[in-house]
Structure 1
């Protein structure tokens, strides 16, 4: 059996502090796997610059000139983590037998990449990297994450608990994934739908090597709500937020009205009228907001806009210095 060509896809957004170290550590992993005859010497590391504002692309170019493993693509603008990841996966699928996706911050344990590849040799098309525990998280983050996974399971959505986007996919699994043409990507939900033989590899998540997290609380909550959505649904989200506020105020007003009733300071019927107006009004706004969320997603999907545009490509070219300067649009995806 021929040794598989492995491409490690690394989405990057303002990762200048960690990029050189990431390239060095991943290159070491590839060297070891090649020496042990587990992967082909044609294997690569593909950095995807998601419209960074710092020196990320400059560093990718410099690394590609001196490190034969390092390749890169530069997106024309920031399109978000999930779209940047799918851009890298689609680019890598053309020249790879299997692909591993991993974030640039070195929090995922690169030592288990060997186990990923060994599982691939055993016949698994998808290998999920799963956190062994969440003890390093804050109480709030740990509790909300576990609650999110339980909730998604309750409503019938298959997710791999404690799995982010650290995974291996075979070429046939990746080709099937690329047939999904959603604009609003949530890869953690899409990959389990493929149905190919899969397994899990557990690891301990590390502290970020350098730089700052690109997922503050606000982004994590939005991602948990519906993954990646376009900016055009923001006004609808605002209406939903007003609905929730109305429900909260209705509860406060209801409590106040009950106190007034107990103290005998109200006319007959005033309490029930106040509670019903506030509560029903809040529920209506919530309902309109939720329906609007789905309409907004339909609006995003039917436009069929490309998910990304590649400004520069030093992966597809045979020589690392031969950059493709023109923009390359992803056809229909």
Structure 2
């Protein structure tokens, strides 16, 4: 029978954790009763340097029920790194792992269909939002534009999919082969390949607490995704440079014709506009190139993507986990 791990990254989630753990416990016990997963399946909460009582609550959950395990990172490493820490830690002790957020926006009931798809042979099952009825117009517009922009610029993602997915052990081992420091799992997981399926679900409103992804962070996340997985922006700059070069040749010919025909007019407005336009394009181009150079700098340092401070798990699992402390 297959051993399933649910990996939940947590950052300051003390308000929602009691309800999340309750619902996950009910779901896991139901799947065990139905014989779809083994009795030693687990829920792993990854504490990403929380400043509240999140880690103490995880410890208490483990003491009360061995179903719950915990990974405590040495400091706040960011959502994607915390998620990766949980997945890579679980890959050697599970047959499949489901990743989801702690805020209960991902539909826990969709786990049943994900497990069914896995049992039918799927290695990766993506949880995809069927609609965005709970979002404001601005949130819906920016989110949908985000997916379209990321895909248009070469970072292939699954439309309306965040980090709610199931991955088989084979897929997790494939994910472990990707060693980049700049993480964008929504784009990396599709690169793993293997047999994939999609499960549609309705995303709920956050159960409690505040969103960890305000607009500013979402914009930063979008830039991270594009520049981590695609060189298309640099190619676009090259294309723009070639276009401007040919335009400048056309303007040069036009100016010479005007000069030799005696129709030269001092064009202050044209000059100012040209200087500001070209200057602005150069600054944007340097900024994009600088973004890539910065990522190269971080990659060459080869810093660990996460450092695990402590575990709370079964003795057998903990022994395996200790082999994965630094990545």
TM over 0.5: yes
Q: Secondary structure at the match of 1:285?
A: helix
Matches within 5 A, 1:43-122: 43-122=41-120
In 1, Cα distance between equivalents of 2:10 and 2:225: 18
In 2, Cα distance between equivalents of 1:318 and 1:330: 15
Equivalent position of 2:131 in the other structure: 133
Q: Which has the higher contact order (CA 8 A, sep 6+)?
A: 2
State the 1:316 CA deviation: 5.9
Is the 8 Å Cα contact of residues 184 and 228 (structure 1) preserved in structure 2?
no
Equivalent position of 1:221 in the other structure: 219
Distance 1:184 1:26, change over 3 A: same
Equivalent position of 2:237 in the other structure: none
State the 1:135 CA deviation: 2.0
Distance 1:76 1:328, change over 3 A: farther
Residue of 122, 125, 131 corresponding to 1:124? 122
In 2, Cα distance between equivalents of 1:319 and 1:126: 23
Is the 8 Å Cα contact of residues 130 and 200 (structure 1) preserved in structure 2?
yes
Residue of 119, 140, 143 corresponding to 2:141? 143
Which TM-score applies when normalising by structure 2? 0.84
Equivalent position of 2:300 in the other structure: 302
Indicate the RMSD between aligned Cα atoms, in angstroms.
2.1
Q: Secondary structure at the match of 2:72?
A: strand
In 1, Cα distance between equivalents of 2:50 and 2:162: 22
State the 1:85 CA deviation: 0.3
In 2, Cα distance between equivalents of 1:37 and 1:132: 28
Is the 8 Å Cα contact of residues 227 and 292 (structure 2) preserved in structure 1?
no
State the 1:269 CA deviation: 1.7
Equivalent position of 2:174 in the other structure: 176
Which TM-score applies when normalising by structure 1? 0.83
Report the count of equivalent residues: 290
In 2, Cα distance between equivalents of 1:289 and 1:315: 45
Is the 8 Å Cα contact of residues 66 and 314 (structure 2) preserved in structure 1?
no
State the 1:153 CA deviation: 2.8
Matches within 5 A, 1:150-229: 150-227=148-225
State the 1:303 CA deviation: 0.4
Equivalent position of 1:28 in the other structure: 26
Is the 8 Å Cα contact of residues 307 and 330 (structure 1) preserved in structure 2?
no
Q: Secondary structure at the match of 1:202?
A: strand
In 2, Cα distance between equivalents of 1:319 and 1:121: 23
Distance 1:123 1:72, change over 3 A: same
State the 1:143 CA deviation: 1.4
Equivalent position of 2:238 in the other structure: none
Q: Secondary structure at the match of 2:132?
A: coil
